[in-house]
Chains A and B, each alone.
Chain A
Amino acid sequence: MKHLRAWLSRLAGVFSKQARESEISDEIESHLAMQIDDNLRAGMTADEARRAAILKLGGIEQTKQAYRARGTVPGLEALVQDLRYGLRQLRSNPGFACTAILVLALGIGASTAIFSAVNPILFRPLPYPDANRIMMLWEEHTGGSAEFACFGTFRGVSERSRSLQAVAVVKAWQPTMIGKGEPERFEGQRVSADYFRVLGVEPVLGRDFDAADDQHKGPNVVVLSDALWWRRFGGDRSIVGRQITLDDSLYTIIGIMPRGFENVVAPEAQLWAPLQYDPSLPPDSREWGHHLQMVGRLRPETTPEAAHNELHVALHPFTQAYASGFDSSGGAPQGIIVTALQRDITKDVRPALLAILGAVLLLLLIACVNVTNLMLARGAQRRGEFAMRVALGANRARLVQQLLTESLLLAIVGGVLGVLLARVGVRFLVALSPATLPRAHDIAVDKTALLFALGISSFVGVVVGLMPAVYASRSDPQSGLQQSSRTTAGGPQFTLRALVVAEVAIALVLLVSAGLLLRSIQRLFAIPPGFDSSHLLTMQVQEYGHRFDKDADRARFFDEALRAVKQVPGVVDAAFTSQLPLGGESDSYGVEFQTRPNDLSSAGFRYAVDPSYFAVMKVPLRRGRLLDEQDRVGAPMAVLLSESYARRIFRYADPIGQHVRMGPDYGHPEKPWATVVGVVSDVKQISLGLNDGEAFYITRAQWHWVDAAQSLVVRTRGDAAAMAPAIRRAIWSMDKDQPIVRVVTMDKLIADSEAQRHFALVLFEAFALVGLILAATGIYGVLSGNVSERTREIGVRAALGASPTNILALVLRQGLTLAGMGLVLGLLGAMVCSRALMTLLFGTSPLDPLTYLSVVAVLVIVSSMACWIPAHRAANVDPAITLRAE
């Protein structure tokens, strides 16, 4: 306690030096006066009295020194001195200070912003208790391929597994609620009873689901998210037990989830209802469809590997017992793939985020190199000052400390500015990020990010200061003082050049990476999607409610809505389809070909469409005929195949007239065959980058059921987006309670399907551009500094007859040699680094020659410009003036 107090007082003493100085002087003076009085009284002469008094004291200065040492913290005092001096230095040279601080702020700000984004997504644990024990469970099929779970598998896992404490399955659920205004469709989930227990989160109000809720044909109960509770019910605490109408049925609200609850499996979900599948597992039922996400919580001290190994064996008897059920689901899984939930939900963005993190660190490196350059140049100017300090007795360590303090000061100021930059940058990042980015709302410059910023600022401060400090401390006081400041090139020249080389090399790596990504995106968007995406508006229309329980009523609604849409002025044509290409859906069904019995590899994407679909989308017909109005209920079933599908199945045989059974008819010999009537060209379904064109088309009327949610595609005369309100009104004129969601133009949908690559590209371009600018200023700075140091030498050369052209060439050659060395090193670096980008590239080799060539060209041009200005200045040096100036 008393020691702490003493320390605090000493710490405070650091800042009250003046007051203490005068205090001790006064005290010593009064002490001496009293002693001299006594000595005089003892009979000494005045001189003797004073001398004896000082002797007895042990020296005035010595006393003061001892007092001072006790009054403050010695090292700290030097630091404060250095800081004061450093600040004065920076203020006396605002140009240097501002440039260095801005460059550092840019580097630190960009890194902090990216770190703020990457940290919550990739590194911070999920917001659940013991989150590392929560696993995503996939069915493992032949060749290790992962598939969604079917309910049968879930039952097997939950019954047999010992290593899992709780298991649950979830699926998306989009119930509609009608209120006073427009009908609202919610994003929600159907979950098995233990879902919230797997996550380890309990409702804050009401209760969790239990086994009684999750029974086949069980009660209609629902749990709401905090956000929904506040938005629709004003946070009313008496809400539990009340009923709401969802999809025309009454649901009882049984619980409210806590405010901070983050549902990472489906971030949009706002309400949850029990799954209520049939545990008796009737064959040929939805219980065997692979559409469930399975999550589980490991028991403490179990590993994912142990769970995987256990299930590999334990599941077997179960799959035997339900062999026929598993057969109808396409075969029993060989095991269960167990991966950490966090890894699972971030697996798609991980490569892009890591690449971006790498890029921003390169940018930071360039910024550091630039500032080191500046500091070295500045050190050269201050050589006289350092020499003077050494001559006056400063030791080298003290000099290094002084310079490191200065660079740390720069870095910390830069860091503070950088954090401000990062706060703005993060907002841009979030706005720019693909919609699929998990945990995006967790991105913020938070405490961890601030610590990160502080950490790199200090690190950068030491890194940029070290080299200049070492050079300064090595400087020989004699030469430093003698030659004032205008001298020939000294020690740092080699380092300066090395730094320029490094800068050019890093900039090249960044530019090549950005270039490769750009080429990939260009290649991707150059791929024809298989239809004409311009002037196409899409939206999803959903039916709900008991009045549509009969298929015929559903079909009628869509028919009427379509008719109404076609009437809207500006609409060329329109069609409904069961799924949209590149819309994030992948609805595929098995197809049985008469010519290929027992072929399990024949599933294709299912499109149940209006006959006008092909005209609206401009999907060209390759053979046979398109679907038409004759292909209606009762008529023989007509099917179109996509080109690559037909080619794979029938090779060179004519597909027209071949027989197939699709979806639920698959493998049922009593069902009639459908006939292939035509072949249309391939359409991209999942991504432009994938060859996934295998699809079959059938009219909506002839498909086995009417899909409750269908996508409307509308070809418009003018701007597609502008037509949205009119089209929505047309549909609602038929039935105002049907929700319409995901209204978006086809062009936007295609752009969004590559959002992740695009995100990476934009950031890489930004970093590469900044890197290029920094590298150019770096080259320029070093060369122009070099030229002004050599003014005298150049003057002598000119006087001895060197022409301006000679001198221009001399300086240019010097600069371009450095740039050239940087280019060579950079090329090697880029070849290595671009491998890390592999997963983000498309149709572009990481060694794409065009990219490398153009980047080299850009860098050559930019560095030539950076060299030319100082070279030009050198060429115009007037020898008479420079020589006289010496």
Chain B
Amino acid sequence: MADKTDVWQGTLALMVLKTLETMGPLHGYGIARRIEQISGNLLSLNYGTLYPALLKLEQEGAIASEWGTSENNRKAKFYKLTRAGRKQLEKEAREWEQARAIVGRFLAPSEEQA
């Protein structure tokens, strides 16, 4: 089994936003599980680090929270994407794509030589 990768700086927010876009309103635990599943369990995520990140996004107005009831009838705080959050997600996703493309171009020729 390959070593688990730590979450890169700054990408956690993007993952949270994307998760909320796909899944709709979700509680912290759900978001954490979803991120792990999508990464194919390759990411090691300390669930605790998620909460300050959620708070930060909420302070910035990208997400909003509300107490509700979970699928298992537990009281839980649900987060959902705001309109500002949607815009932020689009922008960050675009930037991420760009960064990936650039790095990709750097790496491509060396593979050819090999």
| A interface with B by C-beta (< 8 Å) | 2-3, 5-6, 9-10, 23-24, 26-28, 30-31, 33-35, 37, 56-59, 62-63, 66-67, 69-71
Contacts and interface: CB of A to CB of B under 8 A. Distances in A.
CB-CB nearest 3 A-B residue pairs: A63-B48, A58-B48, A58-B46
Contacts of A2: 60-62, 84, 88
B27 interface: yes
A57 B72 contact: no
A5 B52 contact: no
B25 interface: no
Nearest to A29: B75
A51 B27 CA distance: 21
Nearest to A56: B47
A26 B59 contact: no
Contact of A37 (B51, B59, B74): B74
Contact of B59 (A5, A58, A62): A5
Contacts of A56: 46-47
A57 B48 contact: yes
A443 to B, nearest CB: 48
A345 to B, nearest CB: 57
B51 A24 contact: yes
27 contacts: A2-B60, A2-B61, A2-B88, A5-B60, A6-B59, A10-B59, A23-B77, A26-B75, A26-B77, A28-B51, A30-B29, A30-B74, A30-B76, A34-B30, A34-B70, A34-B72, A34-B76, A37-B72, A37-B74, A56-B47, A57-B48, A58-B47, A58-B48, A59-B48, A63-B48, A69-B52, A70-B59
Contacts of A9: 59
Contact of B56 (A6, A24, A58): A6
Contacts of A70: 52, 55-56, 59
A27 B28 contact: yes
B49 interface: yes
B59 A66 contact: no
Contacts of B62: 2
B74 A33 contact: yes
Contacts of B51: 24, 27-28, 63, 66-67
Nearest to B71: A34
Contacts of B74: 30, 33-34, 37
Given A30-B74, A34-B74, 9 more contacts: A5-B59, A5-B60, A5-B61, A30-B76, A34-B29, A35-B29, A58-B46, A58-B49, A70-B56
Contacts of A23: 77
Contacts of A31: 27-29, 47, 76
B70 to A, nearest CB: 6
Interface residues of B, number: 24
Contacts, number: 74
A27 B88 CA distance: 25
A10 to B, nearest CB: 6
Nearest to B52: A70
Contact of A67 (B27, B30, B47, B55): B55
B93 to A, nearest CB: 17
A43 to B, nearest CB: 17
A526 B30 CA distance: 96
A120 to B, nearest CB: 46
Contacts of B27: 30-31, 34
Contacts of B46: 56-58
Nearest to A32: B29
Contacts of B48: 57-59, 62-63, 66
Nearest to B36: A56
Interface in B9-36: 27-30
Given A30-B27, A34-B29, A71 B55 contact: yes
Nearest to B72: A37
Q: Which of A27, A28, A56, A59 has the most CB of B within 10 A?
A: A27
A23 B67 CA distance: 10
A66 B52 contact: yes
B61 A67 contact: no
A56 B36 CA distance: 12
Nearest to B62: A2
A20 to B, nearest CB: 9
A27 B52 contact: no
A30 B56 contact: no
Interface in B76-112: 76-77, 84, 88
Contacts of A59: 48
Contacts of A58: 46-49
A66 B48 CA distance: 8
A586 to B, nearest CB: 75
Nearest to B45: A56
A12 to B, nearest CB: 10
Contacts of A26: 75, 77
A33 B88 CA distance: 32
Contacts of B61: 2, 5
A115 to B, nearest CB: 42
A33 B72 CA distance: 10
Nearest to B47: A57
Nearest to B53: A70
B55 A30 contact: no
A3 B59 CA distance: 9
B92 to A, nearest CB: 12
Contacts of B49: 58, 63, 66
B82 to A, nearest CB: 11
Q: Which of B49, B52, B77 has the most CB of A within 10 A?
A: B52
A10 B60 CA distance: 10
A219 to B, nearest CB: 71
Contacts of A67: 51-52, 55
A31 B30 CA distance: 9
A402 B45 CA distance: 39
Contacts of A3: 60
B67 to A, nearest CB: 8
Contacts of A5: 59-61
A57 B56 CA distance: 18
Nearest to B76: A30
A71 B52 CA distance: 8
Contacts of B70: 30, 34
Contacts of A37: 72, 74
A30 B52 contact: no
A302 to B, nearest CB: 56
B61 to A, nearest CB: 6
Contacts of A71: 55
Contacts of B47: 31, 35, 56-58
B68 to A, nearest CB: 10
Q: Which of B27, B47, B55, B62 has the most CB of A within 10 A?
A: B55
Q: Which of B30, B76, B84 has the most CB of A within 10 A?
A: B76
A185 B77 CA distance: 83
A806 B60 CA distance: 74
A6 B28 contact: no
A174 B47 CA distance: 89
Q: Which of A3, A24, A26, A34 has the most CB of B within 10 A?
A: A34
B6 to A, nearest CB: 12
Nearest to A61: B48
A6 B60 contact: yes
B55 to A, nearest CB: 5
A27 B77 CA distance: 6
A3 to B, nearest CB: 8
Nearest to A70: B52
A646 B52 CA distance: 98
A6 B62 CA distance: 10
A56 B47 CA distance: 6
Nearest to B58: A9
Contacts of B52: 66-67, 69-70
Q: Which of B30, B59, B84 has the most CB of A within 10 A?
A: B59
Given A56-B47, A59-B48, A67-B51, A30 B77 contact: yes
A72 to B, nearest CB: 10
B15 to A, nearest CB: 17
A23 to B, nearest CB: 8
Contacts of B75: 26, 30
